[in-house]
Chain A
Amino acid sequence: MLEELWRVFTFQDYNTRVVMAGTGLLGLAAGVIGVFLVLRKRALLSDAVSHATLPGVILAFWASIALGMTGRSLPVLLSGAALTGLLGMVTVVALRRWSPIKDDAALAIVLSVFFGAGIALFGMVQQIEGVHAAGLTDFIYGKTASMLISDTVIIGIAALGVCGIAIALFKEFRLLCFDEAFAAVQGWPTLRLDLLLMGLIVLVTVIGLQAVGLILIVALLIIPPVTARLWTHRLAPMAALSGMFGMLGAGTGSAVSALFERLPSGALIVLSASAFFFVSLMLGTEGGLLPRLWRRARLRRRIRRQHLLRRAWELREQTGKRTFSARGLVARHAWHPVVAALELRSARRAGLVQRIDGGRWEFTPAGESEASRAVRNHRLWELYLITHADVAPSHVDSDADRIEHVLDPDMVAELEELLAREQEDTPPPSPHRLETPTNGGGNGR
């Protein structure tokens, strides 16, 4: 077993080498072009298309038998597949265009009816005397073991062609995915670009039938882009990452399937791509589960902490005392007493407040400085929202430690001035009037 593993992963086996090269290139092409498919929000269109290839494969098989050929010629079968695949795509578009049927239903209808037709045709083809039709089921689940060097060459050429076109038309495809209407207004031939993109999708689907099977080829088009999306939100790195994930997933999968010949290779390829996906879903920097939960918890903690500090600061301003009580916070802000107690305790642990006699609290020097910064940030943001309403919400980042980290210094200076002016307009609320918490200074940081 170990020896076998070693042989497979050191590419010693000629067959394995052929298969891994073929599927790897397929994964690369599917990953790159899949990015546009996913961003264009048409991921499942490829599922409908791939299911719609089945009747084409069988009809092509049938036709070539009728013409006296063996029926095993891959190019013939794949042309049949491409034909009905395209027909399925056209049907989806027609349903959308000429009936109130929504997208999702149009896909489901095409997928199931075409596939059903394929199964019905298959039921008949099986009965042709003296012809071995069972190989056709390889197209359903995929069978890398049946790949020949000539197949790999076909897949390789097609895959590199797809990647080449995707790179050459990268800018155009990006525009198409991002803002089709804008692209059309700019004079780009959006319809032709769209057709080309969909044509490339059909091409990848068709060349992938043999390796992955028509049920799972959609996985190679969707999983790598979504995996890449979890690490970056920029298109170019996403396409590169996606191609890489596709290649790695497909290559690993076919290597594994060389070890376990009884298992369907398509399933193994998809499972290894899913493994990359699963890890990314957990850890991905852009939307991975753990970073997201952690960020959210941190945001919640920060907002609550800032709340506490600010409210305590304000309470102090209003009462004019140096200390404040938990009861005062609860009374003024409808906090739950338990919440207030917990927040105070966690602030004490962080060394920001300390308890003094009589159930009252005061800021530590560190707390004093942090509270003043929170209050200042808050008031400057508030002023910003009020005075720059036309652009404000998209800029605001309450999580930023300081407003300067988000807004440019001129803007902050302007806001500071406004704040100072407002304060002059207002009679001091209490003898212990607020020294406008200045730019972090004075209080030490």
Chain B
Amino acid sequence: MISWSVIDTWIIIVGVLSAVGCALPGAYLLLRRQSMMGDAISHSVLPGIAGAYLIMGNREPLTLFLGAIVIGIVTTVLIRLVKHGGKIEDGAAMGVVFTALFALGLVMIRRAADHVDLDPDCVLYGAIELTFLDTVPFLGMDVPRAALLTGGMLLANVLFLGLLYKELKLSSFDPGLSDALGYSSRFLHHLLMVAIAATMVASFEAVGSILVIAMLIVPPACAYLLCNRLLPMLLVSAGFAAASAVLGHLSAIALPPVLGYEDTSTAGMMALAAGVLFGGVFFLSPKSGVLAQSWRRVRLGAQLLSEEVLGVLYRRQEAPGVSARPVLAPEELRRGAQGRTVEWLAGRRLVRQGYVRPVPGGFELTEPGLHEARRLIRAHRLWETWLVEEMNLRPDHVHGPASRLESVTGEAMEEELARETGAPAMDPHARRIPPAEKH
């Protein structure tokens, strides 16, 4: 069904090299909250390339690199100028500068189209499918020029980020301290921007500017949602970048046939693959994923609800003239719960812990349940006492805080609480505080 060839292998190699080469410096952009600087430079680099072609008359890597350095610095300086002059936010300043420069670049390229073999479309979407046509001998092999270029850029980036690891970390986290310690944060900012501009020109021919932005930010964003430290974040970013490149090309040749087409743009698919991976992380990340967040919320809700159930049953039991074990009707549980999941989880939790057992018409407390309920009520009422006495809160305002506090009260804290409040027999609402049980 899919015919694999050496071309595909090279496409994947070039894709992976440029994606990883972008993701590493991109991680710093993300952390410095300057992701859109990537967007800005990717647009403004166009006149840099065009200018370098026009002046130098060739498209050697050195020419590209010179153009990139110049444009990286020009863009950052212009943006700062506009920001301070117009007293506007970063975003607007970037928008003004990069659109103007991009427009300039488009016109320059069209004007120079007769002399220069460069197509603005190619700059936007790249021509990774065609990189195989332009090879140079390397180590006895015919290697696509783009592979050498992106590989060299990746190496340069690793070197740059490795040498300045400490400086970039410091200036990204705390530019003020960085300046105070003598590592000029402005200088480092310029260096990073130049590195990004250079990475972009190296990757343009292969993957185009849009994909460059995707690879600069999306894989680092995945890693940001997963990692707690900088170095792992860089490595994971690189992993996601490589995965997006591979997945992107595979789906570019495998998906369209399903719909009846031949194939589609690999660069576009790589960006899309990165987006899909990010979507997965966004929902599934154990650290901050949407699912993890809502699971934590549901579990907390269930815990609070089951404690509330124990409390309600205990209070019914302690009411005067009640001898039989009180029963909690299922509707009552439902009324207290925020949503069916919480209700179900709370019920299951109580039964599995053996605190309640199902009886006709609902649930009733078991013996261990009674103990647990007594402990919670004691903690609750001690907290209410403490809040009223020590924090001078009004008695009708302490139920909420006490309910939240009771569930985190361990044995030691309970003793401490009893000591501080003088272990009274009654709480501020004149209800009996159950005595401590011997553990």
Contact = CB atoms under 8 A, between A and B. Distances in A.
Interface of A: 38, 41-44, 46-47, 51, 95, 98-105, 107-109, 111-124, 127, 137, 140-141, 215-216, 218-219, 222-223, 225-226, 229-230, 262-264, 266-271, 274, 277-278, 281, 284, 287-289, 292
A182 B38 CA distance: 35
Which 9 pairs between the two chains have the least Cβ-Cβ distance? A116-B271, A113-B275, A119-B268, A123-B264, A120-B268, A219-B99, A112-B214, A43-B92, A274-B100
Contact of B88 (A108, A140, A226, A267): A226
Contacts of A215: 43, 99, 102, 124
B313 interface: no
A225 B82 CA distance: 12
A104 B40 CA distance: 12
Given A104-B35, A108-B36, 16 more contacts: A41-B92, A44-B36, A99-B288, A108-B217, A120-B268, A127-B261, A127-B262, A218-B95, A226-B92, A226-B96, A263-B106, A268-B103, A270-B102, A274-B96, A277-B100, A281-B85
Contact of A113 (B125, B256, B272): B272
A120 B39 contact: no
Contacts of A43: 88-89, 91-92, 94-95
B211 A229 contact: no
17 contacts: A43-B89, A44-B94, A98-B293, A99-B288, A100-B224, A112-B275, A116-B268, A117-B272, A120-B252, A123-B256, A215-B43, A226-B96, A268-B107, A270-B102, A271-B103, A274-B100, A281-B82
Nearest to B288: A100
A433 B252 CA distance: 90
Interface of B: 30, 33-36, 38-39, 43, 81-82, 84-89, 91-96, 99-100, 102-104, 106-107, 110-111, 120-121, 124-125, 210-211, 213-214, 216-218, 221, 224-225, 252, 256, 259, 261-265, 267-272, 274-275, 278, 282, 288-290, 293
B225 A101 contact: yes
A115 B91 CA distance: 19
A111 B86 contact: no
B39 A47 contact: yes
Contacts of B87: 229, 287
Nearest to B220: A105
A252 B225 CA distance: 47
Contacts of A114: 275
Given A105-B217, A271-B107, A38 B271 contact: no
A183 B36 CA distance: 30
A115 B208 CA distance: 12
Contacts of B106: 141, 263-264, 266-267
Tell me the dominant secondary structure on chain A's binding face: helix
Contacts of B124: 140, 215
A133 to B, nearest CB: 12
A289 B85 contact: yes
A51 B209 CA distance: 13
A5 to B, nearest CB: 18
A271 B100 contact: yes
B85 A122 contact: no
Given A95-B282, A104-B33, A266 B103 contact: yes
A111 B91 CA distance: 14
B89 A41 contact: yes
Nearest to A43: B92
B261 A230 contact: no
A119 B34 contact: no
Contacts of B36: 44, 47, 104, 107-108
Nearest to A38: B92
Contacts of A216: 99, 102-103
Nearest to A120: B268
Counting chain A CB atoms within 10 Å of each CB, the highest count among B38, B100, B259 belongs to B100
B211 A116 contact: yes
Given A104-B34, A287-B86, A122 B95 contact: no
